[in-house]
A = this chain, B = another copy of it.
Amino acid sequence: MEKSKATIHDISEALGIDSSTVSRALNDSSRVKGKTKKKIINKARELGYQRNSLASKLRTNKTNTIGVIVPRISRHFFSSVIAGIEEVAFNSNYDIIICQSLESVEREKKLIETLLSNRVDGILISISMESTNYDHFEAYKRQGYPIIFFDRPCNILENTNVIINDFQASFEATEHLIDIGCKDIVHFSGPQTLELYKKRRNGYMAALEKHGILVRKEYIIESHLMQEDGIESAKKILNLPKVDSVFSANDTAAISAMQYLKKKHINIPKDIAFVGFSNEPISVVITPSLTTIEQPDFKMGKEAFKLLFEQIENKTSQKENKTKIFSSKLIIRSSTKR
C-alpha cells in the first residue's frame, strides 16, 4: 500500500486535469501555461509524486543512461577513468551504470546482456583479460549499437577505441632501463589475447633491438599480472641466469614482485631495477618508489564519453573509426635510480 506511488493519473484526478497536461507540465512544456503548471507542480509535491523512469524510458525509447564495464573498480586507473566519464555524463544529463567484469568473459557477457535488456543508450568498456574473441562485440557493432572501448582496445572493423600509445610508452620505459645501464631486462607481460599487452611487449622488444640487445623468450614472463602472479614471476626471475631489471606491464605485478625480492634481500634498484605501468597510488608510497607510466586516466574517461555521446546523438557516424590515442608519461622514481 505504501509502496504504491502517486502517478500522473493521481494528480490528474485530484485536479480534474487531463494526465497529458500533467505530464507536459511536469516536463516544463510550453504547452501548459504558468497557472496550471504551478497548480500541477504543487499537487505533485503534495502527493510525493516521483516520475517512473521505467515508463518514461519505455515510451520514449531513450534511457539517457550508458553502461560502463571495467575489469575492477578498485583499480585506481579505472576509478579515475570512471570519474572522468561521470563528470561529462553528468553535464550531458546522462546516468551511468558501473559494472565490473572481474576479468571474466562470462561475467562480461552477462553484464552486456543486462545492460542491453535495460536498453542503455550505449556502452563504454575495457574488456576482460579472458576475452579471446570479439564475436559478441562484433555483433553489437554490426547492429549499429554504440559501443566504445577504452584502455584495452578491440580490433574489429569500424571501431572506436580510446587508448594510449602503449607501444611508444613501453619503448620509452625499456629504453630508460637501458639508459641507466641495464642489459638483462625481464618483461612481465599480460595475456597476449589482449592487443594492449601485445603492444607493450612489442615496445619492449623494439627498444632492446634498437640497442642491439638480444630478445630472449625466457625473459618475457607472461601472466595475468595480478598480485600473486607478481610473486610467481619474481621466483622465475631468480632462476634466470642474470637479471638486472624488470619492465612490468602493470604496477600490481611489479609491486608484489618487488616486495618478494626485498624479502629475499635483493636490493632495488641496485641489483634489480623496476619499471611499472599505470602509476597506481601505491607506486609512490612503496620503498623504493616505483618508476612507472602515468596515463591520462581522467581525460581518457571524458573523451570516451564524448565520443560515445556523439555516436548516440548522430546515429549517422557510427560506422566511422574514431580511435583516439592519448600520450602517456614516464615518471622516474627511485626504483630506477642508480
Give residues in A with beta carbon < 8 Å to B: 2-3, 48, 50-55, 57-58, 61, 63, 72-74, 76, 79-80, 82, 86, 95, 97-100, 113-114, 116-119, 143-144, 255, 259, 281-282, 285-287, 315
Q: Are B79 and A76 in contact (CB under 8 A)?
A: no
CB <8 Å contact, A54 and B57: yes
Of the candidates B61, B118, B282, the one whose C-beta lies within 8 Å of that of A281 is B282
Name the B residues within 8 Å of A286 (CB-CB): 285-287
- Shortest A237–chain B CB gap in Å is 19
The answer to whether A52 and B98 have CB atoms under 8 Å apart is: no
Bound form: Cα–Cα A114–B57 in Å: 13
Top 3 A-B residue pairs of the complex, sorted by shortest distance between their CB atoms? A74-B79, A287-B287, A53-B117
With A3-B144, A79-B73 already in contact, the answer to whether A117 and B50 are too (CB < 8 A) is: yes
* A117 and B51 in contact, given A98-B99, A143-B2 (Cβ under 8 angstroms): yes
* Cβ contact of A73, chosen from B50, B51, B82, cutoff 8 A: B82
Is the contact region of chain A dominated by helix, strand, or loop, or is it mixed?
mixed
Asked if residues A114 and B98 are in contact (CB atoms below 8 Å), the reply is: no
A255 in contact with B285 (CB, 8 Å): yes
Nearest-Cβ distance from residue A54 to partner chain B, whole angstroms:
4
| Chain B contacts for A255, CB-based, 8 A | 285
How many copies, total?
2
- Bound CA span A234–B63, Å: 47
**Could you list 15 A-B pairs, sorted by A, with CB under 8 Å?**
A3-B61, A3-B144, A50-B113, A52-B117, A53-B114, A53-B117, A54-B58, A58-B58, A72-B79, A73-B98, A86-B100, A97-B97, A98-B98, A286-B287, A287-B287
Chain B residues with CB under 8 Å of A58's CB are 52, 54-55, 58
In the assembled complex, the Cα of A98 lies from the Cα of B259 at a distance in Å of 33
In the assembled complex, which residues on chain B have CB atoms less than 8 Å from the CB atom of A61? 3
Contacts of A3 in B (CB 8 A): 61, 143-144, 315
A100, B119: Cα distance in complex, Å: 22
Q: A50, B285: Cβ atoms under 8 Å? A: no
Given contacts A3-B143, A54-B58, 8 further A-B contacts (CB under 8 A): A3-B315, A52-B119, A55-B58, A97-B97, A97-B98, A98-B98, A98-B99, A255-B285
